[in-house]
């Protein structure tokens, strides 16, 4: 396989003319992401959502914004500092884009803290769940906090006075720190000024207070409040007249020139060391911090006024994410839900027999249990008739059952090959460690292909049956991660179909042997064919409509960014093709524009589970075509990743179309519709019966109360 220079997810492949797409009606990628995060925040504001789940959505919104600054804003600032002035494919210059981002981000942060302070904390307090501020501590709590600080916090703090001998230190990415305004003289007779206290990551940011101390069932106090109240004990003889928390967000993208490194793993390991100290891109600081101190911090981090976010509360909102799990209040959470397990899998029979008798087997997670996928790897590891296992790993989590089973299989003498993606963003370090463990177990580990991330989800088992070799395959839309399988909606398929299993085997051979582009019979593969194939399928619907027939496209994905596909969808709409898109996050297409996209509808559905499935359906004159895929319709997926799309037929096609497409287009409780102005409007039931796609599926597979 030949290699090429990676193209960033927002740019155009070199063979495309930027001028060709300059006049195309495209939204802005970054502003579309911020609109998605605003929809997440809307769930935190929604009284239909259980109270503790609303707190969780607030944390997700904050975490999303952190990553947005670490990657997207950081990259945009590099363009601006590099002197790039030309407009992008959306018509905005980098400076104009940054101005719009700054406006939306500041508004979003204000909404986050207003929601926390004015809505969620008061509602939680009414439920006997309180976050105690310093002003609310009585003498009993003050004494407990003092003792806790002395025993559990002070021993790991290292206060730093700032002077010529103690310059401003390197502050790690997203860490909690305090700047202290001191008065008086230190032990050496010098006038004091500023000091810093960094909170080690080993310290919890929210501390539970015993109920006998605080008087409520679930009482908490922020680490920042404790440190603030006891800061005087760290500076004996001096007067800390001001204590202000702050957090700096840094550029966390990794820059590895893959064509120039002899060892990708070593290059990534070197780059990871520097990740926590990249260029500062945002400063969050306590709202009451004096301007002169804010200016001092700005100078240290080389940030302008637009990059400063004054917050009325903890600077690390996402550290509240664990609180709902610490509180035993089922009445304030989503109703418990047990994924459905098909009866055939309760008999204890061989997973291979099940697949052989009923191929293909489809599973809609998390409504249906992930257990059959786990059983495939477990039984493959222990089955003496299994000769070889091949698997891709992108994100798999700690203590993964897949990893332990692969290691067990290798120790049992089976041939095991794992294609592990070292560059899975923010999982790079974990995947490097995982690769080491797998290699030590005797597993052949391949780091994918230089210049292309391996994002396809494939598991192949080779088994000897009656003197011949039979292949079994799992393909899906989600990662091999048992934890996220309970929170993400994804499709899985188990099959022994000869054409599909042969195609999967060929892709594995290509990944490990770096062979040429493949002539696959069933699968469609990126970076070689998927982009062209999707456009051809859309163009086919366009031709049908122009010839007087009915053209119809329904697609579901996380993000729609690719200009070539958007152009094809616009042409389809102009020809009368009905286009319905279910897009969770970023969408650069503009629906409803006269004479361009009047026949296109875009909805975004959010809820209890993270929508993650990618499904593409084409009417094709009544000979429906449907694919499940690992790929979004983005340039990076089409041109810079190894992805697959897998066709489904007959009953499997009809089932997936209903469960992943049709019912989501009916949602009127947790769906937002994108209008021609690029704004999302939340749908309301009005006179129609309230309908939630996720609740419908919960009821179908396991029952549960309706969320209205």
Q: What pLDDT score was predicted for residue 426?
A: 57
Taking the C-alpha atoms of residue 646 and residue 497, their distance in angstroms, rounded to an integer, is: 12
Give the sign of the dihedral formed by CA 425, CA 429, CA 433, CA 435. Answer: positive
The least confident of 63-67, 158-162, 189-193, 225-229 is 189-193
Q: What is the mean pLDDT of residues 179-202?
A: 78
Contact 24, 566 (CB under 8 A): yes
Q: Please give the structure tokens belonging to residue 277.
A: 């100290």
> Which domains does the chain carry?
133-266+276-332 (3.30.1840.10), 343-519 (3.30.870.10), 525-701 (3.30.870.10)
pLDDT score for 561: 96
Model confidence at 516: pLDDT above 50: yes
Judge whether residue 706 has pLDDT over 50. no
d(CA 680, CA 672): 6
Residue of 441, 374, 421 lying closest to 402 (CA atoms): 374
More confident residue, 164 or 41: 41
- Computed over its alpha carbons, how large is the radius of gyration of the chain? 27
CA-angle at 224, arms to 239 and 194, nearest 5°: 35
Beta partners for residue 154, in sequence order: none
329-382 confidence digits (pLDDT tens) = 999 999 988 899 876 666 567 999 999 998 899 999 999 999 999 999 999 999
What is the DSSP code (8-state) at residue 558?
Answer: S
- Spatial separation of the C-alpha atoms in residues 371 and 342, rounded to whole Å: 10
Best CA proximity match to 697, nearest among 629, 627, 608 = 608
Q: How many residues does the chain have?
A: 708
Across the range 292-307, mean pLDDT stands at 95
User: What pLDDT digit, counting tens, does each position of 68-92 carry?
Assistant: 999 899 989 988 888 877 778 888 8
Residue 567: is its pLDDT beyond 70?
yes
Residue 187 buriedness (CB in 10 A; 0-12 / 13-18 / 19+): exposed
Ramachandran quadrant class, 608 (left: phi over 0; alpha: psi -120 to 50; beta: rest):
alpha
What is the C-alpha separation between 402 and 480, in angstroms, rounded?
7
Please state, in angstroms and rounded to a whole number, the distance separating the CA atoms of residues 690 and 670.
10
pLDDT at 417 over 70: yes
What is the arithmetic mean of pLDDT over 301-328?
94
Mean pLDDT for all residues in the chain: 88
d(CA 680, CA 566): 19
Q: What is the dihedral of CA 636, 639, 643, 648, to 10 degrees?
A: 110
- What angle, rounded to 10 degrees, do the helices at 371-382 and 351-358 form? 120
Active site residue 398: no
Sign of the torsion angle spanned by Cα atoms 543, 544, 548, 550: negative
Pairing state between β 453-454 and 160-161: unpaired
Other C-beta atoms lying within 10 Å of the C-beta of residue 536: 12
Helix, strand, coil percentages in the chain from 3-state DSSP, rounded to 5:
40, 20, 35
Beta-ladder partners of 130: 219
Q: Are 214 and 141 in contact (CB under 8 A)?
A: yes
Q: pLDDT of 387-396, one tens digit each?
A: 999 999 988 8
Element (H, E) at 564: helix 563-574
Q: Would you place residue 230 in the very low, low, confident or very high pLDDT band (cuts 50, 70, 90)?
A: very high
What is the spatial distance between Cα 494 and Cα 365, in angstroms, rounded to a whole number?
A: 13
Are the C-beta atoms of 319 and 201 separated by less than 8 Å? no
Distance, CA of 598 to CA of 603 (rounded, Å): 15
Q: How many CA atoms lie within 13 A of 681 on its CB side?
A: 9
Taking phi over 0 as left and psi of -120 to 50 as alpha, with beta for the rest, 104 belongs to: alpha
Query: What is the phi/psi pair of residue 254, to 5°?
Result: -100, 135
Q: Indicate whether 171 pLDDT > 50.
A: yes
Element (H, E) at 106: helix 94-115
**Which residue, 223, 117, 218, 211, is CA-closest to 176?**
223
Mean pLDDT of 696-701: 94
The DSSP result for 215-234, as a single string, is SSSEEEEEHHHHHHHHGGGG
Residue 670 contacts residue 597 (beta carbons within 8 Å): no
> What integer pLDDT is reported at residue 8 of this predicted model?
35
Predicted confidence (pLDDT) at residue 262 exceeds the cutoff of 70: no
pLDDT at 343: 66
CA 676 from centre of chain: 27
Nearest Cα to Cα of residue 522 among 357, 656, 645 = 645
So what's the pLDDT on residue 652? 96
**Confidence label for 5 from pLDDT (cuts 50, 70 and 90):** very low
pLDDT at 23 over 70: no
pLDDT in tens, 458-506: 999 999 999 899 999 999 999 998 888 899 999 999 999 999 999 999 9
Range name among 207-216, 260-269, 649-658, 665-674 with the lowest pLDDT average: 260-269
Residue predicted with more confidence, 147 or 20:
147
Crossing angle between the packed helical segments 51-67 and 29-45, to the nearest 10 degrees: 160
Phi and psi at 11, nearest 5°, equal: -105, 175
- The answer to whether 444 and 579 are in contact (CB under 8 A) is no
Percentage, residues of the chain above pLDDT 90: 70
**pLDDT at residue 116, as a whole number:** 97
3-class SS at 62?
Answer: helix
Does the pLDDT at position 643 exceed 50? yes
pLDDT digits (tens, 9 = 90+) for 119-140: 999 999 999 999 999 999 999 9
Catalytic residue among 365, 455, 531, 552: 455
Say what the pLDDT of residue 420 is. Answer: 87
- Residue in 646, 621, 417, 404 with CA at minimum distance from that of residue 509: 417
pLDDT of residue 584: 97
This model's pTM is above 0.85: yes
| pLDDT beyond 60 at 255 | no
């Amino acid at each position: 396989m030949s290699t090429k220079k990676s193209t960033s997810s927002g740019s155009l492949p070199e063979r495309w003319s930027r001028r060709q797409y300059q006049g195309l009606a495209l939204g802005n990628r970054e502003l579309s992401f911020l609109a998605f995060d605003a929809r997440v925040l809307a769930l935190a504001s929604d009284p239909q959502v259980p109270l503790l789940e609303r707190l969780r959505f607030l944390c997700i919104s904050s975490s999303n914004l952190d990553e947005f600054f670490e990657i997207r804003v950081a990259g945009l600032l590099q363009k601006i500092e590099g002197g790039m002035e030309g407009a992008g494919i959306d018509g905005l210059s980098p400076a104009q884009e940054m101005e719009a981002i700054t406006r939306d981000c500041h508004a979003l942060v204000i909404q986050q803290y207003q929601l926390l302070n004015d809505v969620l904390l008061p509602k939680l307090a009414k439920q006997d769940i309180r976050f105690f501020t310093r002003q609310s501590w009585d003498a009993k709590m003050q004494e407990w906090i003092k003792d806790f600080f002395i025993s559990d916090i002070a021993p790991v703090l290292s206060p730093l006075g700032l002077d010529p001998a103690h310059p401003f230190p390197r502050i790690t990415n997203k860490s909690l720190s305090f700047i202290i305004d001191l008065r008086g003289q230190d032990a050496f007779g010098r006038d004091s000024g500023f000091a810093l206290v960094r909170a080690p990551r080993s310290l919890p940011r929210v501390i539970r207070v015993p109920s006998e101390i605080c008087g409520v069932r679930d009482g908490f106090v922020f680490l920042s409040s404790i440190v603030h109240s006891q800061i005087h004990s760290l500076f004996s003889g001096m007067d800390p007249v001001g204590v202000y928390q702050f957090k700096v967000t840094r550029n966390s993208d990794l820059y590895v020139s893959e064509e120039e490194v002899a060892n990708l793993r070593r290059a990534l390991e070197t780059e990871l060391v520097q990740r926590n100290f990249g260029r500062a891109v945002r400063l969050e600081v306590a709202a009451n911090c004096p301007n002169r101190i804010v200016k001092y911090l700005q100078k240290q981090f080389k940030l302008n006024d637009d990059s400063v976010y004054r917050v009325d509360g903890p600077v690390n909102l996402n550290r509240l994410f664990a609180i709902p799990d610490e509180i035993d209040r089922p009445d304030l959470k989503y109703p418990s839900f047990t994924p459905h397990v098909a009866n055939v899998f309760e008999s204890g029979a061989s997973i291979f027999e099940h697949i052989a008798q009923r191929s293909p087997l489809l599973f809609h997670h998390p409504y249906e249990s992930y257990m059959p996928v786990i059983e495939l790897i477990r039984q493959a590891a222990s089955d003496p008739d299994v000769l070889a296992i091949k698997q891709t790993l992108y994100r798999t989590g700690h203590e993964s059952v897949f990893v332990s089973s692969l290691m067990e299989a290798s120790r049992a003498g089976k041939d095991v090959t794992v294609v592990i993606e070292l560059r899975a963003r923010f999982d790079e370090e974990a995947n490097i460690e995982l690769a080491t463990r797998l290699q030590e177990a005797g597993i052949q580990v391949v780091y994918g292909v230089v210049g292309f991330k391996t994002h396809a989800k494939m598991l192949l088992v080779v088994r000897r049956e009656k003197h011949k070799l039979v292949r079994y395959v799992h393909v899906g839309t989600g990662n091999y991660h048992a934890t996220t399988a309970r929170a993400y909606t994804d499709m899985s398929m188990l099959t022994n179909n000869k054409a599909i299993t042969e195609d999967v085997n060929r892709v594995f051979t290509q990944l490990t042997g770096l062979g040429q582009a493949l002539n696959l019979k069933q699968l469609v593969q990126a970076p070689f064919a998927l982009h062209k194939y999707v456009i051809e399928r859309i163009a086919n619907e366009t031709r049908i409509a122009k010839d007087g027939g009915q053209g119809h496209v329904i697609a579901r994905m996380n993000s729609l960014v690719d200009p070539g596909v958007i152009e094809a969808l616009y042409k389809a709409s102009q020809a009368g093709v009905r286009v319905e898109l279910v897009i969770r996050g970023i969408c650069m297409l503009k629906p409803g524009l006269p004479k361009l996209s009047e026949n296109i509808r875009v909805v975004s559905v959010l809820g209890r589970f993270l929508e993650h499935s990618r499904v593409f359906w084409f009417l094709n004159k009544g000979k429906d075509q449907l694919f499940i895929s690992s790929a979004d319709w983005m340039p990076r997926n089409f041109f810079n990743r190894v992805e697959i799309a897998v066709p489904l037929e007959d009953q499997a096609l009809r089932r997936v179309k209903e469960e992943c497409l049709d019912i989501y287009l009916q949602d009127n409780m947790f769906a937002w519709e994108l209008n021609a102005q690029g704004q999302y409007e939340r749908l309301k039931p009005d006179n129609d019966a309230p309908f939630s796609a996720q609740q419908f599926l919960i009821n179908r597979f396991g029952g549960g109360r309706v969320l209205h």
